[in-house]
Structure 1
């Protein structure tokens, strides 16, 4: 999982959105078809886990040469291309995985991450939603979907996505924080206070959520925290 803060997403006076990416490397060898020779596939996994990235790419490419119908190999190749910041190559590999295996939720999600890095947020939304249609209930993907809606300034849709995220993982402080951001941007300041407070309750050292909570409280009661001299 990759976590980063996007400081330039909103104005300095607005809450900070905590972006949460989750990429999927397919490690389930049981999904490989019976006619697939697993040597290159397993070799690719082993090499990647040994941090031998280029050798891992070569192994998965050889697997595809031998077994061109192996969707798992294409997805894993796309995952590694993502790690190398080769976003366009990720898209090509994941699209091929989906062509071979239309119900491949992880490939749709990895496709969404690559579209995000290319700032094609609408395509990222479409990919995340398709993956969730296939495999609903993934809190982290709902959070990523919400993040894309925030980038598109679609705060109502973002709120719905983050609400699903906290529904499926009530203890995810990042999802509560990002829900608060969407609510704040949509003018629902009291709801935002509640969401930021929940994030802080879960993770007391979560500085972004603390800052956001203070900003939202100031919107609800501009005089809160001010000392008046009489």
Structure 2
């Protein structure tokens, strides 16, 4: 009889562990058990853009430049195209409230726009100098051949023309960094117009503040 009761207790304990563990694991995909905070939307939709020049400060930091500020080319960190976005969600099926098989959900919070653009791919970027840059790139000429698309995180820097060919996925980040590969030789005032064309047919353009690159 004691053996029978012991076996029953063992079975109950196993059942509680099998059923209880998945219920206590948290997955912020469907709820906020992990205390991640409210997420407006896991995807973003581009609705505009701004252009900002940055300079290097120390080894791993940059500062926003002000109009007409002078910087050596070695200290120039590039022009960032910063997209203004709306955040949008996508409904997902809820996972079962319990399972007989333990689940390995872990807390990993998701922020606004972490899944990238829901619909948009980058079709083209055109960079136009508004001042005489050098002997072969005069005012109102395209300077795409001089522009590097600076890699975020583990991405490699790549000339813009190649980047546009190789980048075939939906836009993953709400910004792209553009660095001219040399300093101007005719007019040290660096000012450009940037035109961004998206796969959805949207076209955005803006003009950067003038800075001095020496």
TM-score of the aligned structures, taking structure 2 as reference length: 0.27
TM-score of the aligned structures, taking structure 1 as reference length: 0.26
**Bigger relative contact order (CA 8 A; separation at least 6):** 2
Larger Rg: 2
Q: Which structure has greater helix proportion?
A: 1
